[in-house]
């Protein structure tokens, strides 16, 4: 006789957080410290692999706020700046974070995300949040009393329903809520994918600049080159749909190797390198959701939007969204009459970061922009302001915006002075961002 299916277990909390990455592991302990009962659902078990290994100087104050700065320092590769290498220029351009407008954040770290994310989620537990790993959220209901019911399944097959007063979606690229609310959209202004792996025996620069991230441009996009601890270097190719489709029957390892061969400066550094993990790929890189909040929910970090990682903004934007969300959620739960204003502020700050980075990201492969980056000038403190953006210093009181606007004006004037070059760049970009059927790459 068939055994009856057991009824789902019902559990209650004030705030349910879906996802135990940087966004979820930031909002959870901050809310727990404010006295709320917080539960974090994480589908995997930490430590687990993840890309997005390059932090920004603006991460450092956030790490101090979370009381994890010393732990991250112990696992991080010191990163004083960023290097750009272009096959169309005869030199490499290095930007030092110490030269940014605010001199108090002169460096960042490169981290293995498995170790970094585990530090954050264990900190959430230490601060009083309940962390449930191996628990995958499957469905959500917004109830008439303004509470939320989330259904989940544990690794052993048991079903648990979570009844919460507020929901924070920090599910990353799984975009749990955006998918179910049908609000996720491909970013029509940017379409790219990435193929990446970890390598040993890669030639790095020597001395204090060893930990710099390097961006290598090539004909079909760009590569990241991220030195990590223990001699491992993360290398990823970010490219356009048309080039992805040329993979054909090649496996991902061969496809990445062939791409590296088309970038001589990177190939020289990779001579003799050995792969230490499986090459993986992520397609449909850029997307956004129509909205990032409702009366009793918010979307954080990559669960709301993801843009090209050329400026390493992902972890900083995710953690900052957790900080902003903690204040907004606390207000919604304690002072409902102020909820609308709190969520409006949350919305404004959530959109600010991606918007500021996107302007540069949409143009970073433009030859006129490349010229400006490869030959920087500090007229009107434009270089200092640009470095502040690269450092992620876009939310504080640093008065960079007049100089940022001046830099943008210089870019637009340069386009007017080179109309044919500007037109050809615009035409090529229009071709690059077109989606191509079958261009998505799967793990192989």
**Domain of residue 394, residue span:** 78-109+191-285+363-444
Q: Would you place residue 441 in the very low, low, confident or very high pLDDT band (cuts 50, 70, 90)?
A: low
Mean pLDDT along residues 397-413: 97
- Whether residues 265 and 395 fall in one domain: yes
Enumerate the β-bridge partners of residue 141: 149
Decide if pLDDT at 380 tops 50. Answer: yes
Find tokens 């830099």 and name the residue: 407
Mean pLDDT along residues 370-379: 96
Mean pLDDT along residues 352-367: 94
Decide if pLDDT at 444 tops 80. Answer: no
Single residue among 357, 381, 402 that ends a domain in this structure: 357
Query: Alpha-carbon distance 53 to 238, whole Å?
Result: 15
Cis peptide leading into residue 286 (ω within 30°): no
Is there a domain that residue 325 lies in? Answer: yes
Nearest CA among 31, 305, 45 for reference residue 165: 31
Single residue among 357, 381, 404 that ends a domain in this structure: 357
- Whether residues 154 and 293 fall in one domain: yes
pLDDT digits (tens, 9 = 90+) for 127-171: 999 999 999 999 999 999 999 999 999 999 999 999 999 999 999
- Whether residues 171 and 305 fall in one domain: yes
- Whether residues 208 and 176 fall in one domain: no
Q: What is the pLDDT of residue 186?
A: 86
- Whether residues 32 and 121 fall in one domain: yes
Single residue among 357, 387, 404 that ends a domain in this structure: 357
CATH number at residue 226: 3.30.9.100
pLDDT digits (tens, 9 = 90+) for 406-429: 999 999 999 999 999 999 999 999
Decide if pLDDT at 368 tops 50. Answer: yes
The share of the chain scoring above pLDDT 70, in percent, equals 97
The share of the chain scoring above pLDDT 90, in percent, equals 89
Q: What is the pLDDT of residue 309?
A: 83
- Whether residues 204 and 181 fall in one domain: no
pLDDT digits (tens, 9 = 90+) for 266-297: 999 999 999 999 999 987 668 999 999 999 99
Considering its fold, how many domains does the chain have in total?
A: 2
Is there a domain that residue 3 lies in? Answer: no
Is there a domain that residue 1 lies in? Answer: no
- Whether residues 375 and 439 fall in one domain: yes
Nearest CA among 384, 417, 376, 375 for reference residue 402: 384
Nearest CA among 163, 165, 168 for reference residue 11: 163
- Whether residues 272 and 348 fall in one domain: no
């Amino acid at each position: 006789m068939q055994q009856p299916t057991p009824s789902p277990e019902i559990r209650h909390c004030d705030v349910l957080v879906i996802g135990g990455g940087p966004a979820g592991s930031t909002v959870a302990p901050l809310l727990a410290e404010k006295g709320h009962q917080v539960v974090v659902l994480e589908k995997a078990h930490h430590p687990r692999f993840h890309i997005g290994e390059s932090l920004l100087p603006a991460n450092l104050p956030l790490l101090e706020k979370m009381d994890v700065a010393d732990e991250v320092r112990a696992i991080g590769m010191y990163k004083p700046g960023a290097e750009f290498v272009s096959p169309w220029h005869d030199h490499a351009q290095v930007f030092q974070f110490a030269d940014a407008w605010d001199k108090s954040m002169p460096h960042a770290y490169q981290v293995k995300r498995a170790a970094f994310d585990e530090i954050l989620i264990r900190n959430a537990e230490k601060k009083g949040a309940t962390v449930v790993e191996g628990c995958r959220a499957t469905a959500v209901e917004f109830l008439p009393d303004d509470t939320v019911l989330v259904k989940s399944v544990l690794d052993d097959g048991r079903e648990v329903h979570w009844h919460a007063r507020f929901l924070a979606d920090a599910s990353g690229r799984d975009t749990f809520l955006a998918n179910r609310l049908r609000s996720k959209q491909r970013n029509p202004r940017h379409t790219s994918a990435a193929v990446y792996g970890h390598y040993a025996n890669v030639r790095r620069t020597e001395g204090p600049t060893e930990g710099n991230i390097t961006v290598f441009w090539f004909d079909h996009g760009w590569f990241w080159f991220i030195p990590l601890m223990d001699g491992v270097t993360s290398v990823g190719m970010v490219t356009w749909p048309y080039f992805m489709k040329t993979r054909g029957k090649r496996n991902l390892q061969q496809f990445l190797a062939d791409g590296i061969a088309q970038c001589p400066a990177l190939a020289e550094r990779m001579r003799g390198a050995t792969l230490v993990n499986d090459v993986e790929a992520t397609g449909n890189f850029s997307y956004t959701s129509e909205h990032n909040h409702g009366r009793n929910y918010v979307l954080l970090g990559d669960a709301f939007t993801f843009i090209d990682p050329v400026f390493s903004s992902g972890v900083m934007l995710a953690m900052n969204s957790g900080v902003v969300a903690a204040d907004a959620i606390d207000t919604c739960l304690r002072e409902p009459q102020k909820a609308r204003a709190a969520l409006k502020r949350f919305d404004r700050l959530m959109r600010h970061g991606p918007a500021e980075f996107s302007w540069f990201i949409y143009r970073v492969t433009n030859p006129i922009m490349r010229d400006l980056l490869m030959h920087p000038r500090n007229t009107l403190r434009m270089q200092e302001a640009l470095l502040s953006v690269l450092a992620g210093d876009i939310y504080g009181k640093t008065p960079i915006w007049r100089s940022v606007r001046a830099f943008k004006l210089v870019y637009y004037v340069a386009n007017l002075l080179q109309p044919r070059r500007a037109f050809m760049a615009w035409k090529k970009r229009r071709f690059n961002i077109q989606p191509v059927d079958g261009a998505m790459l799967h793990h192989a």
